[in-house]
Amino acid sequence: MKFTKTATVLLCSALLFCGCTKNNDAAIKINDKVITKAQFNDDFNKIKNLQLKYLPDAFKKEDGYVVLSIKSKCVNDAIVRELLSQEFEKRKITASEEEIKAKKEKIIAQVGSKEAFEELLKKNGINDERLNSDLSSEVKTEKLINSLSNVKISDSDAEKFYKENKSDFTTPEKVQAFHILFNTNPEEIKRQIVAQDKDAKLSQADIDKKVKEEVSKMEALANEVRQKAINNPKNFSKLAKEYSQDKGSAQNGGDLGYITKEQVVPEFGQMAFSQKVGSISPLVKTQYGTHIIYVKDKSAKQVQQFATVKADIKEFLSKKAKYDALNKLLTGLKSSAKIEYVDKSLDPANIEKQIKESMVREQQKQKENKAK
C-alpha cells in the first residue's frame, strides 16, 4: 500500500534543522520573531551537505538547480517551524519531561538500539540539549495535530477508499532480472571519442569511423558473452561483473532485483516479461546500449483483500484528516503572518528566479554539447 510518510517527515524535520548561534543579524522576520543569518546558514549547510554527499560535483554548484531547490525548501521549513512555535505559545501547548523521554525511547526502538541512536546523533552533530528541544517540538506538533481534527473513520469510508484506489493495493507482475550492458549507443560513443580528442585532431570522418568500429567491436563482444551465458547460465553473475558496463548493477552480478514492466524502458520490459524463468535473452537494444537479460524468477500479480488492509486504511485516513487540517492551519498562518525577508537572497521569489535562470543555463549547455 502506497502511503506517504507525511507524519515522519514533518515530525522528524526538527532533528536536522536547529542551531544555536551568536550572530544576531536578521535573515527573516516572522511577526515579532527573528531567524538569524547564522541560524539559517547552519541549518541550510547541514541539510545541503547531507543531500549532496553522494551526488557528483556538477550538482553542488551554489547557483545550480539542486542547491537552490534545497535552499528554497529550507526557507519554507524555517518559516513553518517558527509559525508552529508561535502557535504552540498561543495555544499554550507544552511538552513534559516524561513525554520527551517517551518520544526518545520510541525513536531508539525504531533505530534498533541506544548505541545506534547515539551514533546517529553524533553523525548529525546533535547534542542532548538540542535533541530535547527537537523532541519537545515534535511532541507539541503531535498535540497540535490531534487537536485540529477528531474525525472518526468508518468501515464504509475505508471500503470506499479501497475501491477508489484499488491499484494501490495491487502488486503488479514482477520479474527478477539480471542484465549485462554493452555500450553500443553511437551518440554516447561519439561523446567519449570527442572528449578524448583534447587537441581536436580528429576530423568528422575520423570520428564517424571510430564510432562504427567501436559499435561493431562491442556488438561482437556482446554476442560472444551471450553465448557464454547460454552455455552456462549459472555463470551469468560472474559474466556481468566482468563485462557489464552498467557499473551500478555489475557489482551485484547484474542483479536489478524484482522489477515491474513500467520501471524499465519498453524494449527491456517486453523482452524480460516474455522470457521463461532461467532463460537467456537475445541481444536487446535500448537507448542505453545492448543488453543480455537473464530472468531468474517471476512473481504473479497479487491483490490485497479489503479485510487485510482495512485497519491500515482507517489509520491512514485518520492521519490524513489531521494533516489536512494542519496544512489548512499553516496556510492560514502564512497568509496572515508578517514575513519580511531581510536577506533578499532568501526571498522565495528571488530563489525561484535563480532556479529558472539555472535551468536555462543547463539547457543551453546541453544544446552546445550536442552540437559538438
What tens digit of pLDDT does each residue of 35-65 get?
999 999 988 998 999 899 888 888 999 999 9
Question: Would you state the pLDDT for residue 372?
Answer: 61
Half-sphere exposure of 214 (CA within 13 A, CB side): 19
Per-residue pLDDT band at 2 (split at 50, 70, 90) = very low
110, amino acid identity = Q
Please write down the long-range contacts of 213-216, taking CB distance under 8 Å and 24 or more positions apart.
214/189, 215/184, 215/186, 215/189
Question: Would you state the pLDDT for residue 19?
Answer: 40
Question: Would you state the pLDDT for residue 24?
Answer: 64
What is the pTM assigned to this prediction? Answer: 0.61
User: Quick one: cell of 275?
Assistant: 522470457
Q: pLDDT per residue over 118-171, tens digit each?
A: 998 888 778 888 899 889 999 999 999 999 888 899 999 999 999 999 999 999
Half-sphere exposure of 120 (CA within 13 A, CB side): 14
Separation CA 165–CA 159 (nearest Å): 10
If one compares 346 and 15, the residue with the highest pLDDT of the two is 346
DSSP tag of 198: T
Question: Would you state the pLDDT for residue 12?
Answer: 43
Cα–Cα distances in angstroms (integers) from residue 139 to residues 91, 192, 366, in the given order: 14, 55, 48
What's domain 6-156+306-371's superfamily in CATH? Porin chaperone SurA, peptide-binding domain (1.10.4030.10)
- Return residue ranges of the chain for CATH 1.10.4030.10: 6-156+306-371
290 pairs with which residues across the strands?
A: 182, 285
Q: Compute the average pLDDT of residues 313-342.
A: 95
The residue to which cell 502557535 is assigned = 87
- Return residue ranges of the chain for CATH 3.10.50.40: 173-300
3-class secondary-structure state, position 178: strand
**Radius of gyration (Cα) for the chain, nearest Å?**
27
**In terms of Cα–Cα distance, which of 96, 98, 120, 99 is closest to 108?**
120
Question: Would you state the pLDDT for residue 13?
Answer: 43
If one compares 11 and 356, the residue with the highest pLDDT of the two is 356
Question: Would you state the pLDDT for residue 18?
Answer: 41
Per-residue pLDDT band at 365 (split at 50, 70, 90) = confident
User: Angle formed by the axes of helices 65-91 and 128-148, to 10°?
Assistant: 70
Indicate the class that CATH gives domain 173-300: alpha beta
Q: pLDDT per residue over 182-239, tens digit each?
A: 999 999 999 999 999 888 888 999 999 999 999 999 999 999 999 999 999 999 999 9
Q: Is the pLDDT of residue 364 over 90?
A: no
Mean of the per-residue pLDDT values for the chain?
90
C-alpha dihedral over 139, 131, 333, 27, to 10 degrees? 170
DSSP tag of 197: -
Q: pLDDT per residue over 84-130, tens digit each?
A: 999 999 999 999 999 999 999 999 999 999 999 999 888 877 888 88
